[in-house]
């Protein structure tokens, strides 16, 4: 049986939808339906229950696909291993990250990655929403979080910290704050995300963690826009080090309260690389993971 047909069947199972599988595979749904029908005819058994509203795997289909999936992974691994000695990794690699992280961190690195691996076509899906990796056919995601959640496999890319910043022009218009509590009398530029709007957290080596309620406008869902607003003198912002460190060095922004750790959620945060749970990790994904770890090595 054609392995590509079986991979299509597995995609239908993962998506619980012929239309969804077709979207990820970038083919017409009718062609996926024909593959399903042909495989079922060859096996002499129905793999899916199909109604107008949903698609589910039959008991026979579940048993069959559980045995087939590892075999396909092994075939792909053997094929890649045989070719790896004489060819560079190739194919399309779909990567996702937040808009700000994509623009400020990934894009400069991807130019170098393409020089090293010209046969890999990187499809960067920049989104501030956490895209479903399986549903969107994504090979690798970079997520900013205290710790990864869910069933995905993860590895830490780099630690992140957050800094309270404002422009020199804004600080000339207000009294220079000497303690985080002074933020309650200042215009604070906040994330327009539930749970991240109203409280900024602080701690230091000498002071236990405490919360400062903040207010201000505008509320923005994109970190790049918050950074731009802070540089323009609109107020005080709490932003990631990888986003504001160049502006601090150039003098576009000034860090407030450097003796304190600060955050909008949890103090221990990081950038994580996540990929679907599978036995075989394609070589194109492995080289991307190794490349990003090398370029963004934890300190």
Closest among 164, 2, 122 to 72, alpha carbons compared: 2
The mean per-residue pLDDT over the stretch 44-65 comes to 86
> In sequence order, what are the residues at sequence separation of 6 or more whose Cβ sits closer than 8 angstroms to the Cβ of residue 217?
187, 189
What would the pLDDT profile of 91-136 be if each residue is shown by its tens digit?
999 999 999 999 999 999 999 999 999 999 999 999 988 888 888 8
How many residues are recorded in the chain? 299
What would the pLDDT profile of 218-259 be if each residue is shown by its tens digit?
899 889 999 999 999 999 999 999 999 999 999 999 999 999
For 169, the 3-state DSSP assignment is: helix
* pLDDT range class, residue 53, cuts 50, 70, 90: confident
pLDDT of residue 112: 94
């Amino acid at each position: 049986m054609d392995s590509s047909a079986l991979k299509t069947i597995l995609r239908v199972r993962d998506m619980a939808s012929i239309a969804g599988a077709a979207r990820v595979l970038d083919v017409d749904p009718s062609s996926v339906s024909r593959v399903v029908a042909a495989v079922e005819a060859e096996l002499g058994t129905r793999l899916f229950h199909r109604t107008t509203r949903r698609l589910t795997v039959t008991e026979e289909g579940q048993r069959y696909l559980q045995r087939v999936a590892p075999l396909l992974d092994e075939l792909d691994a053997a094929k890649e291993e045989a070719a790896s000695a004489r060819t560079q990794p190739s194919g399309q690699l779909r990567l996702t990250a937040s808009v700000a992280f994509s623009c400020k961190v990934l894009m400069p690195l991807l130019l170098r990655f393409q020089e090293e691996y010209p046969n890999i076509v990187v499809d960067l899906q920049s989104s501030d929403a956490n895209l479903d990796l399986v549903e969107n056919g994504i090979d690798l995601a970079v997520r900013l979080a205290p710790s990864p959640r869910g069933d995905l496999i993860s590895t830490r890319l780099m630690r992140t910290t957050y800094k309270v910043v404002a422009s020199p022009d804004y600080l000339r218009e207000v009294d220079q704050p000497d303690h985080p509590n002074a933020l309650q009398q200042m215009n604070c530029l906040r994330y327009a995300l539930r749970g991240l709007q109203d409280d900024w957290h602080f701690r230091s080596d000498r002071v236990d963690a405490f919360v400062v309620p903040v207010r201000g406008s505008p509320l923005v869902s994109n970190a790049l826009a918050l950074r731009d607003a802070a540089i323009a003198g609109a107020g005080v912002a709490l932003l990631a080090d990888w986003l504001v460190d160049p502006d601090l060095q150039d003098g576009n922004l000034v860090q407030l309260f450097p003796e304190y750790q600060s955050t909008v959620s949890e103090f221990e945060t990081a950038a994580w690389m996540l990929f679907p749970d599978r036995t075989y990790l394609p070589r194109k994904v492995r080289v991307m993971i190794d490349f990003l770890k090398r370029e963004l090595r934890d300190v």
